[in-house]
Amino acid sequence: MPKKIIQTLIVWAIVTTIPACSYMADYIEGEITNRSSFSISAHYEAGIGVIVEWDANPDNDSFAGYEIYMTKEANNEFAEYIVVGACYDISTSPYFQIDANLDNPSTSSYVHSIVNLPSHGIYFYRVGVIEWDERDYNNDGEDEKKPSSPDKSLYELYTNIADISGSAMVEIP
């Protein structure tokens, strides 16, 4: 095969595979990580704590609650986030607090109380929309979208993160 044809084929192969590789890499990354589904805002208010606000549209049929997460690592979807708020007592973190409002799909804010905040520094918050797994909760042989009497043990066993927000940076003085 002439050298010019080989060079043309190599250039053609590189040009046509770059978009495919980029698309495939984005697809794989999207499957591995939880990309943000909605935006949030957060700010520190002296004497109150960190106020986190969001506008999510959860599926009310399988909605289990919101969970609030915090980390010190910016722009890292693999960072270790700790749960700092939920509608059930699911964390042993000293920064965690129960908020019964987080089990209501129309809730759009959370106050991370000043008594539960970590020491001063820059932190990043995220909000997770939690949904129930579809299963036979009442043992009637048919799957339900959520249990008729949810509790902490069912929540810990049969829920998953349906959507997760982007992160919002907050400086705690």
* Residue 153: pLDDT over 90: yes
Do residues 41 and 108 touch, judged by C-beta distance below 8 A?
A: no
Residues 22 and 74 occupy one common structural domain: no
CA R_g for the chain: 22
Q: What is the pLDDT of residues 48-77, one digit of tens each?
A: 999 999 999 898 899 999 999 999 987 666
Segments forming the whole domain that contains residue 8: 1-32
- How many domains are there within the chain? 2
Residues 115 and 87 occupy one common structural domain: yes
Distance CA 68, CA 22 (A): 32
Do residues 117 and 49 touch, judged by C-beta distance below 8 A?
A: yes
Task: Tell me the two tokens of residue 89.
Answer: 């007592």
For residue 18, give the 3-state DSSP assignment.
helix
Residues 52 and 113 occupy one common structural domain: yes
Confidence (pTM): 0.78
Task: Tell me the two tokens of residue 55.
Answer: 């506008």
Lookup result for tokens 């998953």: 160
Residues 146 and 162 occupy one common structural domain: yes
Residues 72 and 152 occupy one common structural domain: yes
Residues 40 and 28 occupy one common structural domain: no
* Residue 85: pLDDT over 70: yes
For residue 11, give the 3-state DSSP assignment.
helix
Residues 84 and 8 occupy one common structural domain: no
Q: What is the pLDDT of residues 126-138, one digit of tens each?
A: 999 999 999 999 9
Q: Which of 101, 120, 98, 117 is nearest to 109 (CA)?
A: 101
CA angle, corner 64, sides to 27 and 82, nearest 5? 65
**CATH assignment at residue 66:** 2.60.40.10
